[in-house]
Structure 1
Amino acid sequence: MWQIPWITFILLILASYRLTRLIVFDQITSFIRRPFLEEKFEQDASGFVVATIEEKGGRFHAFMRDLLTCYWCVGVWSSVAITLAYLLIPSIAFPVILILAIAGAAGILESFVRG
């Protein structure tokens, strides 16, 4: 079977984490989610920004909405994509994986700094 060094394994984990967050939560990928749901951000009385989601469409839209907003579901598919890319086309995939891993680690560190 394949031998993956532990540092590469950590990079794959961090890259998968960041790709998952990118798809499920980030504003930059809202165009992927927009056909299936409407996201609105409002400030509540205490000053916190609260996201509300309005559902769109029928069964297919509901399936896609569930798929795109389920952190666990997207996490599995992100992990599959990242791992297959690394194993099948490592010279192309590795720079992308490295960038996603660095961004993922930075995001995790930022969440600790914020508290």
Structure 2
Amino acid sequence: MENFPIELLVLIGLASFRLTRVIVYDKIAEFIRSPFLDEIIEDGEIYITPKGKGLRKWIGELISCYWCTGVWVSAGLLGAYFFFPEIGIPVILIFAVAAIASILETIIGRLIGD
């Protein structure tokens, strides 16, 4: 592990960033969150609360927390890289490229005032 390439760290970091955002925020993953989270809308504000008790509530708390989900996503991507590289590497590359695209889109959107 002492010779872990910085390029790999950057790729897995970017992939982790993007996949975590997909799970926690993006509409495409709403079906993953909906069994575990309730959305409450009050006065135009959206509040997210975990559903149920026990494991269901724990998962709801986990996937509503960007930092918590990020730890597990990072561990999963790193595990995929080491144990299943034929699947892990393409997945990491896809999400890393998507992360770069989303970062660029955010920067450009702010520069042109979207």
TM-score past 0.5 threshold? yes
SS at match of 2:38: strand
Q: Distance in 1 between matches of 2:87 and 2:55?
A: 34
Three-state SS of the structure 2 residue aligned to 1:53 is strand
Map of 2:60 onto structure 1: 65
TM-score for both structures, normalised by structure 1: 0.80
Q: SS of 1:38's equivalent?
A: strand
TM-score for both structures, normalised by structure 2: 0.81
- Report what 2:33 is aligned to: 33
- Could you tell me which runs of 5 or more consecutive residues in structure 1 were left unpaired when the two chains were aligned: 45-49
Deviations 1:78-110 (A, max 9, x none): 110011111122222111110000001111111
Letter in 1 for 2:66: Y
| Distance (whole Å) between structure 1 residues aligned to residue 60 and residue 9 of structure 2 | 30
Structure having greater relative contact order (Cα 8 Å, sep ≥ 6): 1
Partners of 2:48 and 2:18 in 1: how far apart? 22
Aligned residues between the structures: 110
Are residue 94 (structure 1) and residue 83 (structure 2) matched? no
Report the CA distance between 1:55 and its aligned residue.
Answer: 4.8
Q: Alpha carbon RMSD of aligned pairs, Å?
A: 2.3
What corresponds to 2:13 in structure 1?
A: 13
* Gap runs ≥5 in structure 2: none
Q: In structure 2, what is the equivalent of residue 23 of structure 1? A: 23
